[in-house]
Structure 1
Amino acid sequence: MSDKPASLITPPDGYGDWLAELKQRIHASQQRATLAVNRELILLYWQIGRDILDRQVEQGWGAKVIERLAFDLRTAFPEIKGFSRANLMYMRAFADAWTNDEIVQQAVGQLPWGHNLVLISKLKAPAERLAYAQAAVENGWSRNVLVMQIETRLLERQGAAVTNFDANLPKPQSDLARESLKDPYRFDFLSLSAESQERDVEKALVRHVTEFLLELGAGFAFVGRQVLLDVGGEEFFLDLLFYHLKLRCYVVIELKTGKFKPEHLGQLGFYLAAVDRQVKTELDAPTIGLLLCKSKNSVVAEYALSDKSQPMGIAEYKLLESLPTELQTGLPSIERLEQELAEIKRRPDEA
């Protein structure tokens, strides 16, 4: 037996690859175990909620029985959390929202309990709940991200951009490309006014690139801003350049602070051609262009795209003006903030 510490023993050839494979298998096993435990818990909660519903309907039990049940379950299982009266009421609502246990064992069962409470509290239609549940599973959204995506109506905006992908991309890439774009894009997180200039928006998007990537959706990787291209000895700059990992292609994004005009596509098409010749490799699919503008006439946009041979999409983006009216009116004014600051400064003297 060697006297050397285990960390100093020279491993044999191939050990590193084997160790990496073992680590992956262990991580995968841990994930499956966690998922199985979560699925069993969600199913248990659904069954308890279903029992409460059935007994209240069939035997006329009132709401008081839930309070008694919470007490008895906490007494019987003091080490288990989750049997409060409030949580039992959530279980009842959960079972009322999902009448089929098969759904619970699929997408919904893969989400933590907190995610499921968000779905039933913020969405009324079962089809909407299921769609957001599946999206949360596929994209690994946290509960806070799920709330944000629901409140900004992500799935309703997805695939809504005006594009010519069907004519210029093969299936299924055209379908995936279309679903990868949305309309409008919500840039509330930038805290910019609607009058902000293109360069201001560009800089702010890069400063908040994490939120920007989240709004763009799964698959987008940031390459650069104001990317230099030399064409015939002249310099041209792309507003924003991304790479889409699922589509395996570059995505050029151009920003326009005004209303869409057909001539905007000429500039975008030039950039796509330059990227295809200078940046794209043989392994990459044709570059896609996305023109983001403050507003557009959809009919004009469709006409403008109809004779373009390069894959392009047109969508609107919204800044602070996209905040709900009730939230805009609920924000404190500058005068109110200054008044509160003055009051805070006076308090030490008053003490």
Structure 2
Amino acid sequence: MMEQDKNKLDDTPVALTPLPAGYQDWLASLKTRIHTAQQRATLAVNRELVLLYWQIGQEILTRQSTQGWGAKVIDHLAHDLRVAFPEMKGFSPRNLKYMRTFAQNWGSSEFVQEVLAQLPWYHHITLLDKLKTQATREWYAQQAITHNWSRNVLVMQIETNLMDRSGKAVNNFAQCLPAPQSDLARESLKDPYRLDFLGLGQDAQERAVEAALVEHITQFLLELGAGFAFVGKQVHVVVGGEDFYLDLLFYHLKLRCYVVVELKAGDFKPEHTGQISFYLSAVDSLLKHPDDQPSIGLLLCKNHNRIVAEYALRDSHKPIGIAQYQLGDAIPSELKIGLPTIEQIEQELSNKTPSQDKANHD
């Protein structure tokens, strides 16, 4: 009991009144450095794990192809490795088969070391399970690295077909913005936008959609993509003594400009471009900082005719994108952050049926 009391006393900070000058800044610096060191250690461990798994997969492939080893050797190898390294996880037969498939799909050791080793192993399992071609796997892998996606966010982006939607909004950026600003702006918009997470029916009106987007702003920012920062809804501007209200206003950190988002619950109409052009002029005049780039408009419509939209933008001098939004059933909102443990990976692998495993690895 006395020893426990002594330990408690040892952990009690000494009261210093006042604290030395600069102490709080030094403490903040130490916390930042410790956190950074922890992140680097986690990334280093993950990198070594991914490289080890790729090497094991390569050696399994080599021995099976050149020495005629059968599939059963994986079961024996899993048993022997777990006996030799009981404290290590990840040597189940299923995970060894994933290592083989991983190596089979990524033959370049340089690409694995320089790019893929930045992703957790669980991300690689997701890429192998959910995507069929190398081009799509590479695209989603690069996006996951660039935007630091968790595994659940990666799954959601794949299931909502992000690759085919990115950069697809009708726009006039090439004629209104200088390169490379125009290219970055084009890639920052998509078509259609998936707003399933709102849980609204197809007949939802503009104000209902707007209110739900603000209520679920975290999910909406995720759907908009990296770089968007929310400024406000129904943003009030005064022009010529008259009041006007912008549906949603964002600031894009990479484009360094305001983005005005206007919602239309019906079909796109050419006159919509005049309204958002007016709003962009107001933002550029009243809100834009001299160092900011020209503001960009995004018209989100229930439907649009691409040809009509292209004609409507042809002679516009304001950078505008036009895209559809889709409403539907709510999707799960759990966006798990952080690296999963090997135990979690093993648990999910063990929940797969033998037919699923065979389909993935035959």
* TM-score normalised by L of structure 2: 0.83
State the distance in 2 between where 1:21 and 1:155 align. 39
Other-structure match for 2:271: 263
In structure 2, how many angstroms separate the alpha carbons of the residues matched to 1:82 and 1:184? 39
Partners in 1 of 2:14 and 2:148 — Cα distance? 37
Match of 1:82 in 2: 90
Structure showing greater relative contact order (alpha-carbon pairs closer than 8 Å, 6 or more residues apart):
2
Q: Could you report, residue by residue, the CA deviation over 1:228-256 in whole angstroms, capped at 9, with x for unpaired residues?
A: 22222222111111111111111100011
Asked if residue 206 in structure 1 is aligned to residue 214 in structure 2, the reply is yes
Alpha carbons of structure 1 residues 15 and 124: separation in structure 2 relative to 1, 3 Å: same
| SS, match of residue 86 in structure 2 | coil
Q: Which amino acid aligns with 2:74?
A: I
Give the match for residue 348 of structure 1: none
- In the aligned structure 1, how far is the partner of 2:329 from the partner of 2:165? 17
Corresponding position of 2:128: 120
Counterpart check, 1:193 vs 2:198: no
Corresponding residue of 1:41: 49
The 1-side partners of 2:76 and 2:137 are apart by 31
Which residue of 2 is the match for residue 336 of structure 1? Answer: none
What residue number does 1:285 align with?
Answer: 293
Return the alpha-carbon distance in structure 2 between the equivalents of residues 14 and 70 of structure 1: 55
Q: Are 1:310 and 2:318 matched, yes or no?
A: yes
Identity among equivalent positions (%) equals: 66
Distance in 1 (CA, whole Å) between partners of 2:146 and 2:219 is 18
Q: Would the aligned equivalents of 1:219 and 1:245 in 2 still touch at CA under 8 Å?
A: yes
* Map of 1:137 onto structure 2: 145
d(CA) in 2 for partners of 1:300, 1:233: 34
Pairing partner for 2:187 from 170, 179, 190 = 179
Tell me how many residue pairs correspond in the alignment: 320
- Equivalent in the alignment of 1:68: 76
2:252 to 244, 248, 251: 244
Match for residue 106 of structure 1?
Answer: 114
C-alpha distance in structure 2 between counterparts of 1:215 and 1:236, whole Å: 27
1:231 to 206, 227, 239: 239
Take 1:154 and 1:15, find their aligned partners in 2: how far apart are those partners? 47
Unaligned runs of 5+ in 1: 324-351
Q: Unaligned stretches of 5+ in structure 2?
A: 1-12, 332-362
Contact 2:199 2:329 in 1 (8 A): no
The partner residue of 1:222 within 226, 230, 239 is 230
Deviation of residue 107 (structure 1)?
2.2
Paired AA for residue 110 in structure 2: E
Aligned residues of 1:194 and 1:321 also touching (Cα < 8 A): no
1:347 match? none
| Deviations, residues 318-338 of structure 1 (Å, cap 9, x unaligned) | 112899xxxxxxxxxxxxxxx
SS at match of 1:105: helix
**What is the identity, as a one-letter code, of the residue corresponding to 1:139?**
H
Alpha-carbon contact 2:193-2:323 (below 8 Å) kept: yes
1:25 Cα shift? Answer: 3.7
The alignment yields a C-alpha RMSD, in angstroms, of: 2.0
